[in-house]
Amino acid sequence: MAQRIVRDKLSERDVKAISRTLIETASDSVVALSRLSRLRRELRTHNVPETIISATFNPEVTRLSNKIQKERSDQREDEGIDFPDHFLLESVTERLNLYDVSNIPDKQALADVMIMLCIRPAEIKKLRISNGGVTGLLEKNEKRARELLTWIQKAISSGQLRDPGKLGSTYLSTFLKKDEFIPETESRKPLLPSSLRKLGSVFASIVHSPKNPSKANTYASEALCHSPDNHSSPSKRYTIVNMRKRGEPYSQANAFKLFDES
């Protein structure tokens, strides 16, 4: 679409018409906004005038999209994050201990290391472990945590593994939507890439064997902030991670309320 706009030197009016079509054919405002955002990114790569790019903006679509996404976020908070046995603490730990760093890492290894270090997709390339006390669920093995992080980072830099933090990337989310990873719950909602760090923070807290819920949340917050000196005020936003043991029914999961700014 962007190439056509550039090739045919379409006017601002033409671009507005194209934007309306993208909006009208979208399933909802979230999809519509995603389409418009993608079009703007592509137009910017072609260095088109800002007046043309501005023609793709639609304040009402943006407002509706934000409203829908907030409703969905609130619903996820209430329902909590469910995950299959494949991503239980025991399962992730077993794989982390068995990875051979002389091999090329795959998407599974990428997801496990993100869980281990409680990091966002965009943080994977630049994160540095400067304190052994914030290596997540592998806190007792700082050397192994560093080794695994370096392994993943080198694979991304060399192009052997795609960068999950690249704008518009669906690399990791597509992997997490595999049938065998879908929780056997009524909603059957797959894990999101953004959920991995929250899952990891709860695992990191469990490794510390907290004596009470308050201490458990402190450990989890430290893991999310990558700092053992976390003195920030508690967030008003929270996420629930539904914790359970291997083979335990989803209905018997224990809710872990995790406070987090993002």
How much is the pLDDT for 75?
A: 57
Token pair recorded at residue 173: 């989310």
pLDDT in tens, 237-249: 557 788 888 888 8
Whole-structure pTM value? 0.65
Lowest-pLDDT range of 5-9, 132-136, 165-169? 132-136
Give the span between the Cα atoms of 63 and 150, in whole angstroms.
41
Alpha-carbon torsion 157, 41, 61, 34, what sign?
negative
How much is the pLDDT for 237?
A: 53
200 has a pLDDT exceeding 60 = yes
**Mean pLDDT (whole number) for 190-218:** 83
pLDDT in tens, 137-154: 666 678 888 899 999 999
To which H or E segment does residue 242 belong? strand 238-243
pLDDT in tens, 69-121: 777 666 555 567 888 999 999 999 999 999 999 999 999 999 999 999 888 88
157 has a pLDDT exceeding 80 = yes
How much is the pLDDT for 138?
A: 65
233 has a pLDDT exceeding 50 = no
Q: How confident is the model at residue 55 (pLDDT cuts 50, 70, 90)?
A: very high
In contact, 1 and 43? CB cutoff 8 Å: no
